[in-house]
Chain A
Amino acid sequence: MRALLLVLMLAGSASALTGAFAGAAWAVQPDEVLEDPALEARARELSKGLRCLVCQNESIDESNASLARDLRILLRDRLMAGDSDEEAVAFIVDRYGEFVLLQPTTGGWNWLLWAAGPLMLLAAVAAGALYIRGRSTSTTEREEGLSPAEQKRLEEILKE
């Protein structure tokens, strides 16, 4: 009897868990799609940039979680109410924090993240240019030269 109870409990908690992730919904549902194709296209584009909070690195556009569905509907409601893209996104960020933004802002220290690529490229190009210049102006082709140690070793071998 206890075993049966345990099995039931396990099954219950497991299905509750998967329910949160799978639920009934699979990404954008037909009933969510807006009548106005232009508005719908905007909603799709925006929802690609918003993160599903209970999933792992999925946008609400891709996600099957019921929370993602709620967010999709919320986003569409805002757009229907006449919000601009920025206002609609700001509305969601106000409620869920900047964690929902898949594309981080440039505010605060984030400029470093955005500048990292160009800065590193500049540094690498500078280093590469210096190296190439060094190689191209270097006149001594040291191909044949032996280091003193090698010279010594060579003499040793020749003596043997």
Chain B
Amino acid sequence: MSFLGLGGNPNAAAGGVNKLKIDAAEAELDMVSDMFNRLVDSCHSKCITQQYPEGALNKGESLCLDRCVAKYFEVNTKVGEVS
């Protein structure tokens, strides 16, 4: 993902490399925050009941969230695996 300049002109490419790096970092940040948001939405809809008798998470919900997050990441890695 990092596109380091391949032995190019160090003077001219300094700004270019920075920009590339910044772009790469931005893209990655977008991706991570997007994944996080999806994760939160998905696990919230699955694990947290629609009635709110209290504001704190209880044990059942916490456990469910643990499992949901673990599964989400596992699915992510499995789907993203090459071969």
Partners in one complex: no
Chain A contacts to B: CB under 8 angstroms = none
Chain B contacts to A: CB under 8 angstroms = none
